[in-house]
Amino acid sequence: MNNRFWLRNVLLEDGFNENNEGVKTTITNEYNILVENGKIIKIQKEKIQEYEDEVINVGGLLALPSFTDNHIHLDKGHFGGQWKACTPFKGVADRIIEEEGFLEKFLPETTYRAEELLKLITTNGVTHARVHCNVDPVIGLKNLEKVKEALENFKDKITYELVAFPQHGLLRSNSTNLMKDAMRWGANVVGGLDPATIDGKIEKSLETMMDMAVEFNSDVDIHIHDGGNLGVYTINRLLDLTEEARWQGRVNVSHGFCMGNGPEEEVRDLIDRLASLNVSVASTCPIDAPTPPIPLLYERGVKTYIVNDNINDHWSPFGTGDLVQKASRMAEKFFWIDEYSLTRALGFITNGRTPLDEKGERVWPKIGEEANIVFIDASCSAEVIARRKPRHAVMFKGNLVSGKLN
C-alpha cells in the first residue's frame, strides 16, 4: 500500500430518516476517500479522477471509527495459554491472595500471552487501549516491563496508555514507593483500588493516590468495586479531592458498581457531580454484578466507556475481546432497541466518536483525521451493534492491520 491511495465505494452514514415518532432508519451513501500519510485528506461522492493514485475497492463495506478499549488487563491471563476456568469467587481479597501465588510463575509467558490478547482485540477493531498492569510487592515492575514489550511489538497496530495498578492495595501492600518507581519508569496513569475494603482507610488511600497523580502530573484511574453507600461515599470523596487538586478531566472511575445498587437519589447527585467535574466512567456492563445506569450517565453528560477489562483470567473465565458484543449487551440490557439508541451505543466503544451526531449530521470521518477505520459488511452502525457483525478489515493510520480489502 502506498502512502497515498483512494478507498473507493466506502459506505458512510449520511443522516437519519425521521418521522414524528423519531428516527426510523439511517441514510447511507457510498463515498471515495483519499488517504495520504495515514490521514484522510479528501471525502467525495464524485468519481475518482486522479488515476495516478492507487485505488482500493472497498466494495460498499460500511466504515466506522476504530475502537478504544479504555480498560484492559494484559498481564496475568490464561488466554493464549492452556485453558483454565476460575475457582469459585469468594471476594476481591481472596483473588488477590490467589494471584500472589502464581504471578512469578506466569512471567516467562507474560509477553506472549499479552501479544495473543493484543492480536485478539486489534483484529476486533481496537486501535487504542488503556492497559492496567499490576504493580505489587510480588511482581514489582516486571509485569509492566513484559506488557510494555508486547505493546511495543504491536505499535504498528495500536496506541496505548499504561496504568500502574496497585492490585494488592496501595496501603494494604505498602506499594506507594513501588508505584512511584513505576511512574518514574514510564507508566502514564496512576491506578487505584477500593480504598475502603482493600486498604481499609478511605481518606489516606485516596489522598496518597491523588498526591501521586499531582506529583507525576498524571491522570488517575481507580477500580471501585465497593457497592451501595460505601461506594457512593468513596467516589464522593474522590470527587472532593479531584476538585481540590483541580484534576477535572483527568480522573476515571472503573466499574463503580455502587451506581448500580446505591440509593437512587444519591446516585443521581453523584452522577451530576461526575459530569460537572468531567470525571469519566469505564464499565464492562456486567450481567453478574450491579451495572451503573449507563443511559442516565449518558443523558447527564458523563463520558462513559464500555470496556473489556479482563479476558479469561483467574477473575473471570469469560470474554471474547469484542467490544461490539459489549456495546450490544449494554443496549440489550437497557432496552436501547430503536435505531437512534443503537447508533448511540457505538460511541461507548469509540471514545465518543459516532458517524452521525444527535441531529443526524455526519461528523465522522473528518478531513485531517487519522485513517483509523473499521470496515464491516453491514448497512449501518445500528445493525452492527444489534447483530454483532464481524469485522471485515481494520485500518490504523492508513495501514491495514487486519483483514483484507480488494
Cβ(333)–Cβ(326) below 8 Å? no
Smallest separation, CB 360 to Zn ion (Å): 36
Cβ(308)–Cβ(71) below 8 Å? yes
Q: Would you tell me the crossing angle of helices 176-185 and 202-215 to the nearest 10 degrees?
A: 20
Cβ(251)–Cβ(212) below 8 Å? no
Smallest separation, CB 95 to Zn ion (Å): 11
How far is the CA of 230 from the CAs of 139, 224, 262, in angstroms? 30, 10, 9
By beta-carbon proximity to Zn ion, the closer residue of 40 and 74 is: 74
By beta-carbon proximity to Zn ion, the closer residue of 34 and 281 is: 281
Cβ(279)–Cβ(300) below 8 Å? no
By beta-carbon proximity to Zn ion, the closer residue of 71 and 273 is: 71
Smallest separation, CB 191 to Zn ion (Å): 9
Smallest separation, CB 71 to Zn ion (Å): 6
By beta-carbon proximity to Zn ion, the closer residue of 35 and 285 is: 285
Q: What residues have CB less than 8 Å from 68, skipping those under 6 apart?
A: 126, 127, 128, 129, 305, 349, 350, 351
List of residues contacting Zn ion (CB under 5 A): 309
Q: What residues have CB less than 8 Å from 142, skipping those under 6 apart?
A: 107, 110
Q: What residues have CB less than 8 Å from 361, skipping those under 6 apart?
A: 15
By beta-carbon proximity to Zn ion, the closer residue of 254 and 381 is: 254
By beta-carbon proximity to Zn ion, the closer residue of 26 and 284 is: 284
Smallest separation, CB 254 to Zn ion (Å): 6
Smallest separation, CB 223 to Zn ion (Å): 5
Cβ(289)–Cβ(85) below 8 Å? no
By beta-carbon proximity to Zn ion, the closer residue of 309 and 383 is: 309
* Cell numbers linked to 150: 508486547
Q: What residues have CB less than 8 Å from 153, skipping those under 6 apart?
A: 111, 115
Smallest separation, CB 99 to Zn ion (Å): 13
By beta-carbon proximity to Zn ion, the closer residue of 115 and 309 is: 309
Smallest separation, CB 136 to Zn ion (Å): 14
Cβ(78)–Cβ(106) below 8 Å? no
317 prior amide bond cis, ω within 30: no
